[in-house]
């Protein structure tokens, strides 16, 4: 594997956690291996590995972009990851307020619903 892939896997584990990455790797098949290699190198080994902005800021941007574009399937994963990047619940809610103004209230409302479900699940699990 390339150096960018190796760095991407390291960052991916730091942000998403070993359990998540291990599950994703176990679920990977021959068909989607090229896709997984692509996102590990490009998303994690290039974008997330950059130190131009903090991981906290990157989490907030990622959540806002996912919500603004209606890509809700990954919001829960990135809300959970935000704990590892230093983005607070308040930070996330601020990002979603921007979504409401610039991309639409329904998208922000749905993203907030997902985030609240994650937080409720985490509180229940932590007890």
Helix/strand/coil for 51: coil
Q: What is the pLDDT of residues 89-109, one digit of tens each?
A: 999 999 999 999 999 999 999
pTM: 0.92
Domain borders along the chain are 1-52, 54-127
pLDDT of the residue at 10? 97
Evaluate whether the domain defined by 54-127 bears CATH number 1.20.1290.10. Answer: yes
Spatial distance between the Cα atoms of 119 and 1, rounded to a whole number of angstroms: 36
Q: What are phi and psi of 72, to 5 degrees?
A: -75, -15
Spatial distance between the Cα atoms of 24 and 43, rounded to a whole number of angstroms: 15
Q: What is the pLDDT of residues 50-73, one digit of tens each?
A: 999 999 999 999 999 999 999 999
């Amino acid at each position: 594997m390339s150096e960018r892939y190796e760095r991407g896997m390291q960052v991916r584990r730091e942000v998403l956690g070993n359990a998540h990455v291990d599950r994703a790797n176990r679920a990977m098949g021959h068909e989607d291996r090229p896709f997984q290699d692509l996102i590990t190198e490009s998303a994690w080994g290039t974008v997330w590995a950059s130190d131009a902005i903090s991981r906290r800021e990157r989490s907030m941007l990622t959540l806002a972009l996912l919500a603004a574009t209606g890509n809700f399937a990954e919001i829960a994963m990135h809300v959970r990851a935000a704990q590892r990047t230093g983005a607070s619940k308040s930070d996330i809610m601020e990002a979603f307020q921007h979504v409401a103004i610039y991309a639409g209230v329904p998208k922000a409302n749905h993203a907030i619903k997902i985030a609240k479900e994650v937080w409720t699940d985490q509180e229940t699990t932590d007890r």
